[in-house]
Chain A
């Protein structure tokens, strides 16, 4: 996917573990691991809102568009 999420970089900068973030935002560690690994297909505004609030950042700090990456096929 051409959208990359820098959750690991942001966690390192805030010296916060994934489990701690999970407790703060109320999202399971498994789901956050999917986000961190770039396996998630979509992100809700509510999730983005919670992440930005707890990590004290802007959505742009978390995400990056990489034009060189291939587009994810919509087909199964």
Chain B
């Protein structure tokens, strides 16, 4: 199976990315609507929620109490995370569009890869913020793990920036070839 062009692996991956991108928009919408609903109806449901998180936290106490305000804040926090993921997947599917057309070495793709790299940095940093918030809001669930730095994720971010430079050089060579008479 071919790697580039119509009917190739990249065109199949582009379809997968389109589906994930749409699913992320739906998730983002649900999180925002849920968070807003919790804030609006807070006076009517001004009690603590009992969340059963047994499946998520096997080694910790399963039930936690959380106020509607805290739950709404958590939902907005995850909404920001999903929003950055939407940015990443949007740029990725545009890159895959050019791969499907068989012409990936475009100056636009350099910018897209850099945006993806920056968005991945933002995701990592935001995950630390969320982790700290959860540790403070629900210590019984989050335990005493604190912030855990994932070296693989940071290495992947570095690879994305290196890939952006490779694309920049590729785009330059392509332009050179086009302007060689």
Q: What's the dominant secondary structure at chain B's contact region?
A: helix
Q: What's the dominant secondary structure at chain A's contact region?
A: loop
Q: Does A43 contact B (CB under 8 A)?
A: yes
Tell whether, in the assembled complex, residue B180 and residue A76 are in contact, meaning their CB atoms are under 8 Å apart.
Answer: no
Tell whether, in the assembled complex, residue B172 and residue A40 are in contact, meaning their CB atoms are under 8 Å apart.
Answer: no
Query: How many angstroms from the CA of A39 to the CA of B171 in the assembled complex?
Result: 17
Q: Does B168 contact A (CB under 8 A)?
A: yes
Tell whether, in the assembled complex, residue B176 and residue A76 are in contact, meaning their CB atoms are under 8 Å apart.
Answer: no
Q: Does B175 contact A (CB under 8 A)?
A: yes
List residues of chain B with CB under 8 Å of any chain A CB: 107, 110, 168, 171-172, 175-176, 179-181
- 30 residue pairs of the A-B complex, CB under 8 angstroms, read A27-B181, A31-B181, A32-B181, A34-B179, A34-B181, A35-B181, A39-B179, A40-B179, A40-B180, A40-B181, A41-B175, A41-B176, A41-B179, A41-B180, A42-B176, A42-B179, A42-B181, A43-B180, A43-B181, A44-B180, A44-B181, A47-B181, A74-B172, A75-B172, A76-B107, A76-B110, A76-B168, A76-B171, A76-B172, A76-B175
